[in-house]
Amino acid sequence: MSVLDILTFPDPFLKQRAKPVDNVDDSLQQIIEDMAETMYQAPGVGLAANQAGIDACIIVFDPNTDEQSRDFQVLINPVIIETQGRVVSENEGCLSVPDLRSDVPRFERVVVEGLDRRGNPQKIDATGFLSTILQHEIDHLNGILFIDRISALKRQIYKRKRLKEIK
């Protein structure tokens, strides 16, 4: 397994919509393993392929923050098919948006369909922290960063600060 580089804002690749996966094969399995290793190393609770510069609709996630019990899940070509309620995800952060945490409006419950790492259909009915993770990572696959969902003022302040840091 390899730890991949995580792209950070303002990398333009993060704003692109990821391509659907057509073929679940051995090379995809290696990508999934590398993504999981990267997520745990970061450390994070989710990672979308495009955050690692991979143009593919794949997410890995593990809502369990206990380092002793790593058991990540995979969704290939995930799609939110049902939503319910509204909540504010408090203190949300992102591996691709360093040094910012913010409250983000999210759906309280989502139902997500996709494929598991072997290409079998999956359906996840999620609430709470898992719902937030799934929405966040699927947003990435659609070229949406969590800063796109916060207030314009907070977003503008962060963008200015970040652009000064990387110059």
Burial class of residue 67, CB neighbours in 10 A (0-12, 13-18, 19+) = exposed
CATH number at 31 reads: 3.90.45.10
**pLDDT higher than threshold 80 for residue 67:** no
Structural domain contains residue 6: no
Q: Which domain holds residue 68?
A: 12-166
Q: What is the pLDDT of residues 16-54, one digit of tens each?
A: 999 999 999 999 999 999 999 999 999 999 999 999 999
The total number of structural domains in the chain stands at 1
Q: Is the dihedral of CA 65, 150, 90, 87 positive or negative?
A: negative
Taking each continuous run of H as one helix and of E as one strand, the counts in the chain are 3, 5
Is there a domain that residue 101 lies in?
yes
Q: Tell me the two tokens of residue 77.
A: 């070509």
Specify whether 92 is catalytic: no
pLDDT tens digit sequence for 141-150: 999 999 999 9
Residue in 37, 82, 137, 165 annotated catalytic:
137
In a domain, 2, yes or no: no
